[in-house]
Chains A and B, each alone.
Chain A
Amino acid sequence: MSIIVEHVSKKYLRAADYALQDISFEFGHGIFGLLGPNGAGKTTLIKILASLIKPNAGIAYVNGFDTVKEAQGVRNSIGIIPQEYNLYPNLRAREFLVYMALLSRSGCTTKRILKVLTEVGLDHHANDKIHTFSGGMKQRLIIAQALIHDPPVLLIDEPTAGLDPAERVRFRNLFSEIALEKTVLLSTHIVEDIVATTDQVMLLDRGRLVYKGQISELVATANGKVWETKVNLKDWNKFKERFRILSFRQTPSLELIEVRFSAAGEKVPDGATSASPTIEDAYLLMISSDLK
């Protein structure tokens, strides 16, 4: 197994709640989706796996290395694509990659740099200064730095936030391609990114692991719980208070609202029909049920 996490908990100093609480999972080759709302603990988990912070309890292994006791081995094994990053704007793309490779204490040839830059589509911008790059180009460069020392494990945190749809599709494809040879932990709160790249998913909510398994099984957990109906505009507020709203839209006549909802123990209103759940429905229900 490339990543093994056993009963890991983390509580930050002066924080009221645990950022992670008794998390255990393991997975091997391929892409593994880490889904959860903002503040669920995804970034904390990635930092623990990257040996950047230590857990208060539990143990985690990356590529067979203990993240606390064998940080050197862990860091040689990983490439990280952080959610928030600062590049060195005055360096050229090529220089930046050489610098990062040197900090990893790995040899780095011009051939390797070109290969990585080609993989991320920046081969024609190798000698451009980073401050001239667009948001998408910077995102590609941060991926390149994670690949430059050819690590077996990639930890990716919210990689497509702020990108336009075309760029997002390109990145998803890139991750899928990378996953052919490596282990990739893809953390995101965007459900589509997970669906498009993997069927292995883990759901974190408020520091706790609420689901781990196949996407299809996650969807199945919502079977019989999702309903559709149309609600008069004047009754909408009362409806919202009674049921968990999964999605809704106004009809063209503007007098009715088409809504997907979960009854969650309440009596299903007349006229409502059972609907096939989507992964988004399942995701929302999983979080909401946890909240309840």
Chain B
Amino acid sequence: MCAFLGAIKFEWKTQCAQRSNWLLALAFMAIFWLSFRLQELPLRSAIGFSVSTAQGLGLFGGLFIAVMSVQNLLRETHRGFDHVWSRSLPAKNYTWLKFFGSSLTVFTFSLPTLLCFLALLLFYFGSGAVLSGLKVWIILILPTFLFIISLSLLVSLLIRRNVIAALVLALIIAGDLVQNFDVTGLLAFAPYDIYTSAMIGFGPDDPFVLLNRALYLILTLLNCVLSLILSNHCLPVIANKKYPWVAAFRIFIVMSLVAGSWWIAERYLGLSRIANVPANPVGHILQKEACTLFDSYKIEFVLDETGKIISGTALLKLQPVKSEVIIPITLNSGLEMAESQVIVDRSLILSSYEESASIEREVRIDYRGEMIIPRFAYTTFYQEQDIAALGFEAGYYADSRYVFIFGTGTWHPFSECPPDSVTITIPNSYPVIYSSADTAITGENTSSSTWSTFTSGVMLLAGKYPHYVQDKAWNILLPDRLMAEDTQSLLLDTYQSAIFHLANHVSASEKLPKRIIIVPLIRQTYQQDALNIFFIPERLSFTRELIDTGNDSAEPSNNSGFVTSAALDVMTSWWCEERTCPELSNILVSRHTDIGFRQEDHLTSALLYYASLQLSREIDQEIDVGEMVGLYETALDDPLQMVQLPIMLPPESIRVLSQLNALWDRITPQDFWQLMKECRNQSRPTPIQIDEFAELVDMITGQDFRDLQGTPP
């Protein structure tokens, strides 16, 4: 063993001394610095920074490792190494020698980058972030790099020609890159688009990430075993005499591991369900229509000590119906209900009054299980509008540290129907950070919160991580260590300012939120009037603004992108009135793509964006709305310019933007905001169209909107 370890040391030394390998260190460093912008770091969370750099290194660093490894792995297969092969080197030793030697070399050359990464974590996020950042790097990068090295070993042994092997590896890796756009594709060697949060880490993506990483460690092992078999055949090493049996045994073990991990994933993690759980937008719509049949709807909800298993009871009193009614139950697919006469195929069957006169019109539904958070509920990738409408459908998240129960959600059977009362019981191991409950009772082991008013605004935050920040007259919940203090102030002041200015414009009677809560998993800003709360999605606001702030060249001032973005968040939350706005998903969620823009939404998108520009001008006097509109008009002729702008808009919306700017010059601000209010009222249930809008403009301002022309670029 000592001799083997000593040989690994010399293999590592030889590889490190090879000057062409030094390129690896340069490549890692370059990829690392290209994975983020230094000026954005104060705005980011440590985990977000760690994930983006880890993904960059995993995706592109792997390619460099593959190309560089080939020459190290094939070195002794070239002429002139008989003095090495004539030694009593068994096949297994050669394989492991190369694998571990190359792994150590890659680690050595990644050290400068790792040190830079740790220094940045320490400087920008404090010592507490170093460990969590390092953990993210180990989870995301280590299995990827080991897999690439083992794959290089296998391909090298198969081909034994430096250039051809490198080309084949490059093709394999490039092919697999396609898989990387979704973490649920378990074949992604460097998973991309992982949900990351300063508050809940990988959150609902956690099982995907861990399984994917475990799978790649097992595949690494499989590659090494196959390399062992190949080296017995094609290298002049000492072959194992019992090699067929040993090889078969090794393959059996590794294949068992692969199958086992899949089985565990299916049996215990329910991975396929998490990834593919179907959205049920129709069920939500039908259920909403049936809510009037509920005389009473009470929920009791209990979270167990592990933070995983929940159990609940829903008690319903139902009005008699003249004909049979089927009400879809939107309970999360991870929660099981006992089927009965009235509950069939996750639907509540109400038979007609005549038939069921003797049947008690009370229904009790007991449910139990582990909540599944479907990916469509929180991903920022473009989705069809009916699915986008569901927003954060689960309305619930819990892990061992943190519980988050938000408004309506599929943690109870009829998520679209406001309950009459809700009682939520959680273990005392989760200290309550915020609760909108009317009453709370703390027992020996559990505490119960009860809502009997504003039940649709159920909001409970409990756990060990988030930190409470009190700011002036506002009450803000912000996770600790999310960002630097100055940046926190900038962010919150901007949102406060935008909310304040909008409230002034739209009406004094509008409720002004007194509390800002930053929460994970929700997809868009959300204003809950009943509780005077303004919710900011952690991922959306904090991650997206970084991209916008960096585009100095295309923007009038440094903070304009951030201010405009905050203003747009506030505008849309007011516009959407406590509901999810799928029609605005392009300007709310996926701002840098124009996929999915519908013709009927062009006016709404342009209107809200223009209003948010005006709002942001009030927050930051340096913002020039005309200049920004001009940039969009330029992009009309030169589409490449569009990528530098904060939001990608289709040409139709840009033309409306120009007309709105021309309108602004002809009317008073009061008229403009009056117009916005009327538009909002008329945008239910279908978005306002250009003819209706033109009529409104004429009615409120006396202007002919169709005759207005934008400023020539």
Contacts and interface: CB of A to CB of B under 8 A. Distances in A.
A118 interface: no
A98 B6 CA distance: 9
A76 interface: yes
A245 interface: no
Contacts of B18: 90
B1 to A, nearest CB: 11
Given A84-B79, A84-B80, A90 B86 contact: no
Nearest to B17: A90
Interface stretch (A99-107, A203-211, A218-226, A233-241): A99-107
A80 interface: yes
A95 B82 contact: no
B257 interface: no
Nearest to B82: A82
B17 A100 contact: no
Given A90-B18, A91-B10, A91-B14, A103 B84 contact: yes
Contacts of B667: none
B281 interface: no
Contacts of A12: none
A143 to B, nearest CB: 10
A71 B238 contact: yes
Nearest to A131: B17
A75 B3 contact: no
Interface string A73-114: 001101111101110101100010011101111100000000
B3 A102 contact: yes
A100 B239 CA distance: 19
B268 interface: no
Contact of B88 (A76, A95, A98, A142): A76
A90 B11 CA distance: 11
Contact of A102 (B7, B78, B236): B7
Nearest to A142: B83
A98 B80 contact: no
Interface string B90-133: 00000000000000000000000000000000000000000000
Interface string B61-94: 0000000000000000011111111111100000
Contacts of B84: 100, 103
Contact of A80 (B4, B83, B88): B83
B322 interface: no
Contact of A104 (B10, B17, B87): B87
B14 A80 contact: no
Contacts of B85: 52
A104 B83 contact: no
Nearest to A47: B82
Contacts of A250: none
A266 to B, nearest CB: 44
Question: Interface residues of A toward B: which range?
Answer: 20 to 34
Interface string A254-291: 00000000000000000000000000000000000000
A145 B78 CA distance: 19
B361 interface: no
A78 B86 CA distance: 8
Contacts of A91: 10, 13-14, 17
B620 to A, nearest CB: 58
Contacts of B14: 88, 90-91
Nearest to B18: A90
Nearest to A103: B87
Contacts of B10: 88, 91, 95, 98-99, 102
Nearest to B6: A102
A50 B86 contact: yes
A175 to B, nearest CB: 16
Contacts of A98: 6, 10
A99 B238 contact: no
A86 B78 contact: yes
Interface string B228-250: 00000000101100000000000
Contact of A145 (B6, B17, B83, B238): B83
Which of B17, B81, B88 lies at the interface centre, i.e. has the most chain A CB atoms within 10 A of its CB?
B88
Contact of A99 (B7, B79, B88): B7
Interface residues of B, number: 24
Interface string A26-62: 0000000000000000000001001111000000000
A214 interface: no
Contacts of B17: 90-91
A146 interface: yes
A85 B82 contact: yes
Contacts of A105: 3, 87-89
A173 interface: no
A12 B199 CA distance: 66
A142 B3 CA distance: 21
A79 B14 CA distance: 22
B7 A52 contact: no
Given A72-B238, A104-B87, A52 B82 contact: yes
Contacts of A142: 83
Nearest to B10: A99
Nearest to B236: A52
Contacts of B236: 51-53
B80 A100 contact: no
Nearest to B8: A102
- Which of B10, B18, B78 has the largest number of chain A CB atoms within 10 A? B10
A286 B168 CA distance: 51
A104 B88 contact: yes
Nearest to A129: B17
Contacts of A78: 86
A82 B13 CA distance: 24
A140 to B, nearest CB: 13
Given A86-B78, A99-B7, A81 B238 contact: no
A75 B88 contact: yes
A44 to B, nearest CB: 12
Contacts of A53: 236
B162 to A, nearest CB: 14
Contacts of B238: 51, 71-72, 75
Nearest to A43: B82
Contacts of A79: 86
A109 B277 CA distance: 65
Contact of A82 (B4, B83, B87, B88): B83
A264 B85 CA distance: 45
A103 B7 contact: yes
Nearest to A78: B86
B642 to A, nearest CB: 52
Contacts of B6: 98-99, 102
A82 B18 CA distance: 24
A105 B5 CA distance: 11
Contact of B80 (A72, A85, A95, A99): A85
B81 A86 contact: yes
Interface in B371-423: none
A80 B83 CA distance: 6
A240 B607 CA distance: 104
B3 A80 contact: no
Contacts of A146: 83
A215 to B, nearest CB: 28
A100 B83 contact: yes
Contacts of B3: 102, 105-106
Contacts of A51: 86, 236, 238
13 contacts: A52-B82, A52-B85, A75-B86, A75-B238, A85-B80, A86-B80, A86-B81, A91-B13, A100-B83, A102-B3, A102-B7, A103-B87, A105-B89
Q: Which 3 A-B pairs have the closest CB atoms?
A: A90-B17, A86-B80, A99-B10
Interface of B: 3-4, 6-7, 10, 13-14, 17-18, 78-89, 236, 238-239
Given A71-B238, A91-B10, A102-B4, 6 more contacts: A51-B236, A76-B88, A80-B82, A84-B80, A98-B6, A103-B89
